[in-house]
């Protein structure tokens, strides 16, 4: 689909614009956070010997909690948005590096585990990137991608769902590219359900919590919210987040 609207705002610009409110608006529930973090620990088999890189780590809240709970030797939050990275730099138990995926890998910083949570669709020239990651990882080193299917169950308006599907490559592509590099790949689909007050969900939409929403004007967001209102008549919405966890081991 070639729609010029999808190119109107770059990803890093978008995340610069929501950095200040990111932690508040990108929040589903404490249970949800525990669910994701527990799986990260297990899938990456984190231990005190590891050096963890949280690539596209945003404001570093996940990086910081993982560092505390797993006791890894060192944890980096690598984040190209200056405003997001500035937030991460306030967390004293992690090291924030303001750069994108390709710039980071070319620094040759040693690491043994790599987390890519909700970021893989933003990274270009992925085949080249995987190859570089494979070279840098030690034997038995691991990476974990947490991503979503192209068709999400989120209560989004129709044109937002189309934008999301447009920006999200099929996860099978990541699997095949990783296998082609020599990684052993395991994929698990896991879902988490939670309930949000509609007002909170609409605030997330108005802040364009997902970069896919950045192409919509204020009027279009309000029109989208009216579309959602027709379907969801209660005060709260039950939401299912279908996540895909892809672990690749060298
Ligand atoms: C949806 S946020 C996810 C943040 C964090 N991983 C989390 O789950 O809370 C996506 C992040 O990826 C970053 N990003 C975008 N393009 C990137 C790239 N090429 N390399 C590394 N990070 C990138 C964005 O700036 C943003 O902070």
Dig out the tokens for 119 from the structure: 């970021």
Alpha helices in the chain (DSSP H): 11-18, 22-25, 30-43, 61-70, 82-89, 101-106, 126-136, 158-167, 171-181, 198-206, 218-231
Contact in structure between 129 and 120 (CB atoms under 8 Å): no
Determine the average pLDDT of the residues in 35-43: 97
Determine the average pLDDT of the residues in 129-139: 97
What pLDDT is stored for residue 5 in this prediction? Answer: 54
Locate the ligand 1 atom nearest the alpha carbon of residue 146 and give its number: 8
Residues with CB under 6 Å of ligand 1 are 11-12, 15, 55-58, 62, 79-81, 84, 100-101, 117-119, 122-123
Does the pLDDT at position 2 exceed 50? no
Determine the average pLDDT of the residues in 207-229: 94
**117 alpha carbon – ligand 1 mean position (Å):** 8
**246 alpha carbon – ligand 1 mean position (Å):** 17
Q: What is the DSSP string of 119-150?
A: -GGG-SSHHHHHHHHHHHSPTT-EEEEEE--S
Q: How many CB atoms lie within 10 A of CB 40?
A: 23
Does the pLDDT at position 14 exceed 90? no
**162 alpha carbon – ligand 1 mean position (Å):** 21
Determine the average pLDDT of the residues in 69-97: 96
- CATH code at position 84: 3.40.50.150
**231 alpha carbon – ligand 1 mean position (Å):** 31
Dig out the tokens for 203 from the structure: 């605030």
**123 alpha carbon – ligand 1 mean position (Å):** 9
Structurally, how many domains does the chain consist of? 1
Locate the ligand 1 atom nearest the alpha carbon of residue 211 and give its number: 1
Closest residue by CA, ligand 1 atom 9: 58
What pLDDT is stored for residue 78 in this prediction? Answer: 98
What pLDDT is stored for residue 26 in this prediction? Answer: 75
Range of the domain at 127: 4-249
Instruction: Grade residue 235 by pLDDT with cuts at 50, 70 and 90.
Output: very high
Does the pLDDT at position 96 exceed 70? yes
Which residues 6+ apart lie within 8 Å of 193 measured at CB?
238, 239, 240, 241
Give the whole-number percent of the chain exceeding pLDDT 70: 95
**235 alpha carbon – ligand 1 mean position (Å):** 31
Instruction: Grade residue 1 by pLDDT with cuts at 50, 70 and 90.
Output: very low
Instruction: Grade residue 8 by pLDDT with cuts at 50, 70 and 90.
Output: very low
Contact in structure between 126 and 177 (CB atoms under 8 Å): yes
Which tens digit of pLDDT belongs to each residue from 185-211? Answer: 999 999 999 999 999 999 999 999 899
Contact in structure between 122 and 11 (CB atoms under 8 Å): yes
Locate the ligand 1 atom nearest the alpha carbon of residue 124 and give its number: 19
Considering the entire predicted model, what is its pTM?
A: 0.93
Determine the average pLDDT of the residues in 117-138: 96
Ligand 1 pocket: which of 114, 122, 169, 210 to mutate (most atoms <8 Å of CB)? 122
What pLDDT is stored for residue 90 in this prediction? Answer: 96
Locate the ligand 1 atom nearest the alpha carbon of residue 15 and give its number: 25
């Amino acid at each position: 689909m070639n729609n010029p609207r999808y190119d109107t705002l770059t990803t890093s610009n978008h995340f610069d614009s929501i950095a200040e409110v990111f932690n508040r608006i990108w929040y589903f529930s404490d249970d949800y956070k525990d669910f994701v973090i527990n799986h990260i620990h297990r899938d990456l088999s984190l231990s005190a010997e590891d050096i963890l890189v949280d690539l596209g780590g945003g404001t570093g809240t996940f990086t910081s909690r993982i560092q505390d709970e797993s006791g890894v030797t060192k944890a980096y939050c690598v984040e190209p948005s200056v405003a997001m990275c500035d937030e991460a730099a306030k967390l004293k138990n992690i090291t924030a590096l303001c750069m994108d995926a390709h710039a980071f890998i070319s620094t040759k910083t040693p690491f043994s585990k790599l987390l890519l949570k909700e970021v893989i669709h933003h990274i270009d020239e992925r085949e080249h990137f995987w190859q570089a990651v494979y070279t840098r990882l030690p034997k038995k080193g691991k990476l974990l991608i947490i991503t979503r299917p192209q068709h999400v169950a989120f209560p989004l308006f129709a044109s937002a769902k189309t934008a999301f599907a447009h920006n999200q490559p099929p996860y099978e592509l990541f699997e095949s590219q990783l296998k082609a590099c020599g990684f052993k790949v395991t994929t698990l689909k896991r879902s988490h359900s939670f309930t949000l007050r509609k007002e909170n969900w609409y605030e997330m939409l108005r802040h364009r919590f997902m970069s896919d929403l950045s192409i919509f004007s204020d009027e279009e967001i309000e029109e989208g919210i009216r579309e959602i209102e027709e379907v969801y008549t209660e005060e709260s919405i039950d939401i299912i987040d279908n996540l895909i966890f892809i672990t690749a081991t060298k």
